[in-house]
Amino acid sequence: MVPASNIVDPVMGPTSISHHYQNRVVVISGGSSGIGLGISHHLATLGATVVIFGRSQDKLDAATAAIAGQGGNAVGYSVDVRDAPGIVERLADVAQQHGPLDLVIAAAAGNFFAPADKLSANGFKTVIDIDLIGTFNVFSAALPHTRKPGGVLLAITAPQAQRAIPNQAHACAAKAGIDMLVKCLALEWGAKGVRVNAVSPGPIAGTEGLARLSATPEIETAVRNNTALKAFGEVSDIARAVAYLGSPDARYVTGTILDCDGGMRLGNFPSL
């Protein structure tokens, strides 16, 4: 009898996620805390070299030390995703040092709770600049260095892209822009052998993003009840979704938004 781990499925071939990330190069903006840090840990554990971009050098140092402490391989660079020339320069250096980029994840974002009539032009612009333009800056600078064929660009979006949420006009507009950017880039860059996708997390326990949307325990409960599953997700839920889309298991998937949101995007009608 062949041991189960040695059986090769004639349809699926050898299973890939657990093998795919060995010696792969992953770049992640916003990989130094919260969901991005969870993704960095997971992909490093699967064997990737993880290159993290963020603004705070202290956060980058803490993240790379924690990954090294688990036996993983990570480096951090202080870069602001709004600095397009800085991103171009840094990604060229990374590719020179580490080789073609296998997976590039744009997870950096900024958000706060603010009614639209109290939002200054600069407040609105700041979130568009970090989330939407920052995602374009990272993807467009990565394209020349992305492995072809086989490279993957992956954005982290949010249910705000698909559903209007009070006090979130800036984040809703930015994330909706990201969803359409992903589809357009998938269409234009597919012929180069590059896939472009997004993962859309719902409210994820223990993160800055959820804390900023949950000023009181009552609001936190309301946010939880705004998901179909009546539950918060975990960072690991998002890391698993990212690992799938970044691997050859998803080789025929491009231009898609993988909703990993407990159904938050569906809306909620508590009185019905």
CA distances from 248 to 9, 158, 242 (A): 16, 24, 12
Among 76, 201, 246, 262, binds ligand NAP (CB under 6 A): 201
Q: Is 178 in the site for ligand NAP (CB under 6 A)?
A: no
Rounded distance between C-alpha atoms, residue 74 and residue 72, angstroms: 7
Paired with 259 in beta bridges are: 200
Could you list the beta-strand ranges (E) of 122-249: 152-156, 195-201
53 binds ligand NAP (CB under 6 A): yes
- C-alpha–C-alpha distance, residues 78 and 148, integer Å: 27
Taken in order 51, 184, 122, 210, the sign of the CA dihedral is negative
Under the binding rule (CB under 6 A), the answer on residue 55 touching ligand NAP is yes
Answer with the entry of ligand NAP, ligand HXC, none that 152 interacts with (C-beta below 5 to 8 A by kind): none
Residue-by-residue DSSP string for 77-129: EE--TT-HHHHHHHHHHHHHHH-SBSEEEE---------GGG--HHHHHHHII
Q: Which is nearer to ligand HXC, 16 or 268 (CB)?
A: 268
- Residue pair 186/138 in contact (Cβ under 8 Å)? The answer is no
CB of 222 to ligand NAP, least distance (A): 14
Binding partner of 72, given ligand HXC, ligand NAP, none, CB within 5-8 angstroms per partner class = none
| Residue 112, binding choice from ligand NAP, ligand HXC, none, Cβ under 5 to 8 Å by partner class | ligand HXC
The neighbour count for residue 247, using CB atoms within 10 Å, is 21
When the beta carbons of 107 and 153 are compared against ligand HXC, the nearer one is 107
* Contact partner, 198, from ligand HXC, ligand NAP, none, Cβ < 5-8 Å per class: none
Closest listed residue to residue 81, CA positions, set 127, 143, 121, 146:
127
114 binds, among ligand NAP, ligand HXC, none (CB under 5 to 8 A by kind): ligand HXC
* Nearest residue (CB) to ligand HXC, 50 versus 171: 171
- Choose which of 48, 105, 142, 210 interacts with ligand NAP (CB under 6 A): 210
Binding residues vs ligand NAP (CB under 6 A): 29-30, 32-36, 53-56, 59, 80-82, 107-110, 130, 156, 158, 201, 203-204, 207-210
